[in-house]
Amino acid sequence: MAVKPARVSDVDKHYQVAVIGSGPGGEGAAMQAAKLGKSVAVIERHAEVGGGCTHWGTIPSKSLRHAIAELNAARESPLLRDALRGQAVEVPDLLRSAAAVVQRQVDLRQSFYERNRVEIIHGQACFAAPHTLAVARPDGAAALVTADHIIIAAGSRPYHPPDIDFSHPCVFDADTILKLDRTPHSLVVYGAGVIGCEYASMWKSVGIKVNLINTREKLLSFLDDEIIDALSYHLRDGGVILRHDEECAKVEAQGDHSLVVHLRSGKQIKADALLWAAGRTGNSDGLGLETIGIKPDARGNIPVDEHFRTVLPHIYAVGDLAGPPALASAAYDEGRYAARHLADPSTSRRLLELIPTGIYTSPEISCLGRTERELTLANVPYEVGRSLFKHLARAQIVGQTVGMLKLLFHRETLELLGVHCFGYQAAEIVHIGQAVLTQPPPHNSIAYFADTTFNYPTMAEAYRVAALNGMNRLF
């Protein structure tokens, strides 16, 4: 939403906590501060609350993924495939299915603020002084908001290199790709991070020819190597062409309906569309940070300490603006932690330890704790327990036999060290392991899974199978 030039107003109000942004980080901060009895205002520059997570990122993209999965499941079903044969479903049809979910999320999040008596001020916030925010409202009025503490949770946006023409009808970023008004025959995804891999996986599932350009030597190097290999195999098996260690030299438009991506290696890839998914930029510009001596880095991130405080201790920055892990789940808890810390500096950081990673490729990935690579480099004597989904009755029933659960544990103490899951419901399954891994010794033992009865048939049963598999290797 564009903000009109402000006219002078004498509307001033003081709060104990002011939050800039209503995405996950802002919401977490505002709700926690309100629960602690603070007077709270949230300044949101867009017309509705929810931030990029609700409107342009997590919610619509995962809704699209679900719609694609449902379509593919119907096409493979013996009961429905004949009825659907020959019926074309276009990308815009799938995208429309996400709209209702977004609006329900907005309504829900709005009710949180109302129930907790948190005031929402719509407009663009800009620092006028260390404790003062000038808010340019959509109607042209200006409000001055002062606060004892300020939490910046303005989020991020896709990075736009200056030499790429994002106004071209064939060039998209992670926000605008959700406004596709056609089904492209071929697509280049530039950038093989989490967003790039997720979209490459989605688009190949609807029959679009995808080239995934990775500027590094392998996909998602922070994952366990076995999971990386599995993801690479299934992307290739689905028709995605992976190109590693490549770099874009230029993008050449060929009219309004196609383009050619020139790589520095000399390769040229022609496609109907380009999704540029190489990095993000923090939304720190326009906040007037230079006025108060806060200097973001080259990508717009705000330097913070371990408590998310900026160089001005009463000002915090959370979420994407504070750098990795840049997850909606982490942002929410960073906001909660910041609100707790400003009220009580002795607050424990336990809330922010061992945050699981969820990657919504098809099949999906989720992990927590250490990888085999890390344990090997640290000379930790570990063992591996695996459960292949193809052996689970529940996976066979629902027709989701691709994937596995992998548990890493200490050979001597049986301490659970890492949980790595690839396949159906991975982002849900990982939380069972999280509940054990985060316990203090001796309660964080893999023996818990071997000695616990799981419902049958379930995906959760994979923990018992993996634990027994791993413990059998010790004797």
Of all residues in the chain, what percent carry a pLDDT higher than 70? 95
Which residues, 6+ apart, have CB-to-CB distance to 189 below 8 Å?
196, 199, 200, 203, 210, 211, 212, 213, 275, 277
Q: Are residues 250 and 298 in the same domain?
A: no
Q: Are residues 329 and 191 in the same domain?
A: no
Report how many domains make up the chain: 3
- Given 329, 352, 375, which residue is the final one in a domain? 352
DSSP codes, 450-467: HTS---SS-STTHHHHHH
Q: Are residues 269 and 290 in the same domain?
A: no
Coil vs helix vs strand at 326: coil
- Residue 145's closest CA among 221, 40, 248? 40
With a cut of 90, say whether residue 403 has pLDDT above it: yes
Tell whether 231 is covered by a domain.
yes
Q: Tokens 């406004």 map to which residue?
A: 179
pLDDT at 22: 97
Residue 71 C-alpha from the chain's centroid: 24
Question: Omega of the bond prior to 313 within 30 degrees of 0, cis?
Answer: no
Q: Are residues 298 and 382 in the same domain?
A: no
Q: Are residues 105 and 215 in the same domain?
A: no
Tell me the two tokens of residue 12.
């001033």
Give the residue numbers spanning the domain of 196: 171-278
pLDDT at 2: 40
Which residues, 6+ apart, have CB-to-CB distance to 404 below 8 Å?
230, 386, 387, 388, 389, 421, 422, 423, 462
Tell whether 165 is covered by a domain.
no
- CATH number where 391 lies: 3.30.390.30
Cα dihedral sign, 342-348-349-351: negative
Tell whether 89 is covered by a domain.
no
- Given 259, 278, 297, which residue is the final one in a domain? 278
Q: Are residues 209 and 322 in the same domain?
A: no
pLDDT at 12: 79
With a cut of 80, say whether residue 83 has pLDDT above it: no
Tell whether 71 is covered by a domain.
no
**Cβ count near 245 (within 10 Å):** 11
Tell me the two tokens of residue 259.
């383009």
Q: Are residues 335 and 372 in the same domain?
A: no
Triad 157, 117, 48: Cα angle to 5°: 30
- Residue 457's closest CA among 395, 385, 381? 395
- Backbone region of residue 269 per phi and psi (left: phi > 0; alpha: psi in -120 to 50; beta: other values): beta
Q: Are residues 140 and 42 in the same domain?
A: yes
With a cut of 60, say whether residue 250 has pLDDT above it: yes
Band of the pLDDT at 84, cuts 50, 70, 90?
A: low
**Cβ count near 174 (within 10 Å):** 22
- Given 352, 378, 393, which residue is the final one in a domain? 352
- Comparison of pLDDT for 90 and 155, the residue scoring more: 155
From CA 175, how far away is CA 173, in angstroms rounded?
A: 5
Tell whether 184 is covered by a domain.
yes
- At residue 324, φ and ψ (nearest 5 deg) are -55, 155
Q: Are residues 27 and 114 in the same domain?
A: yes
Contact 271, 211 (CB under 8 A): yes
What's the chain's average pLDDT?
Answer: 93
**Strand bridging mode 273-276 / 186-190:** parallel
Q: Are residues 218 and 311 in the same domain?
A: no
Residue 176 C-alpha from the chain's centroid: 17
Q: Are residues 130 and 26 in the same domain?
A: yes
Q: Are residues 367 and 465 in the same domain?
A: yes
Burial of 209 (C-beta count, 10 Å sphere; 0-12/13-18/19+): middle
Contact 186, 272 (CB under 8 A): yes
Cα dihedral sign, 189-193-199-200: positive
Inter-helix orientation angle 328-343/24-35, to 10°:
30
Band of the pLDDT at 233, cuts 50, 70, 90?
A: very high
With a cut of 90, say whether residue 112 has pLDDT above it: yes
From CA 310, how far away is CA 291, in angstroms rounded?
A: 14
Tell me the two tokens of residue 111.
């009710």
Tell whether 379 is covered by a domain.
yes
pLDDT at 81: 66
Tell whether 21 is covered by a domain.
yes
From CA 266, how far away is CA 248, in angstroms rounded?
A: 10
Q: pLDDT for 269-301, tens place per residue?
A: 999 999 999 999 999 999 999 999 999 999 999
CA dihedral 227, 230, 234, 236 (to 10 degrees): 110
pLDDT at 76: 76
With a cut of 50, say whether residue 407 has pLDDT above it: yes
Q: How far is CA 299 from CA 164, 278, 283, 302, 323, in A?
A: 17, 12, 9, 9, 9
Report the pLDDT averaged over residues 183-197.
Answer: 96
Tell whether 78 is covered by a domain.
no
Band of the pLDDT at 10, cuts 50, 70, 90?
A: very low
**Cβ count near 93 (within 10 Å):** 12
With a cut of 90, say whether residue 75 has pLDDT above it: no
- CATH number where 15 lies: 3.50.50.60
* Amino acid at residue number 15: Y
Report the pLDDT averaged over residues 409-428.
Answer: 97
With a cut of 50, say whether residue 24 has pLDDT above it: yes
Contact 255, 231 (CB under 8 A): no
* Amino acid at residue number 138: P
